[in-house]
Structure 1
Amino acid sequence: MNPKITDQRPPARAALPARQFRLQLSSTRRGARLARLLAVEQLRSWEMPFETAAHVIAELASNAALHGRTPGRDFRLVLTFPAPGTLRIEVTDTQADRLPATRRAAPADGESGRGLILVAALADRWGVTTGPAPCKTVWAELDLTP
Structure 2
Amino acid sequence: MTSNNLSPTVTTQLSTASPYLGSRVFALRFTSTARGARLARRLVAVRLDEWGVPYGTEAHETTVLVAAELATNAVRHGHVPGRDFRLSLRVAGGVARVEVSDTRAERVPPRPGESPGPRPELADGGRGLLLVDALAERWGWCPRSGAPGKTVWAECALTPDDRARD
Percent identity over the alignment is 53
Alignment partner for residue 99 of structure 2, among 78, 90, 93?
90
Separation in 1, partners of 2:29, 2:105 = 17
CA root-mean-square deviation: 1.5
Separation in 1, partners of 2:85, 2:34 = 12
Separation in 1, partners of 2:69, 2:157 = 18
Larger strand proportion, structure 1 or 2?
Answer: 1
- Alignment check: 8 A CA contact 2:23 2:93 kept: no
CA deviation vs aligned residue, 1:48-73 (integer Å, no higher than 9, x gap): 14110111011000000111000000
Q: Which blocks of at least 5 consecutive residues in structure 2 are unaligned?
A: 1-21, 54-58, 161-166
Separation in 1, partners of 2:34, 2:45 = 17
CA shift, 1:96, in A, is: 1.8
**1:89 partner SS:** strand
Give the alignment of 1:6-21 within 5 angstroms: 18-21=23-26
Of structures 1 and 2, the larger Rg is shown by: 2
Whether 1:76 aligns to 2:86 is yes
TM-score for the superposition, normalised by structure 2: 0.73
**2:133 partner SS:** helix
Whether 1:141 aligns to 2:150 is no
CA shift, 1:135, in A, is: 1.9
Q: Which blocks of at least 5 consecutive residues in structure 1 are unaligned?
A: 1-16
Instruction: With a CA cutoff of 8 Å and minimum separation of 6, indicate the structure with the bigger relative contact order.
Output: 1
CA shift, 1:103, in A, is: 2.5
Amino acid at match of 2:64: A
Alignment partner for residue 112 of structure 1, among 116, 120, 125?
125
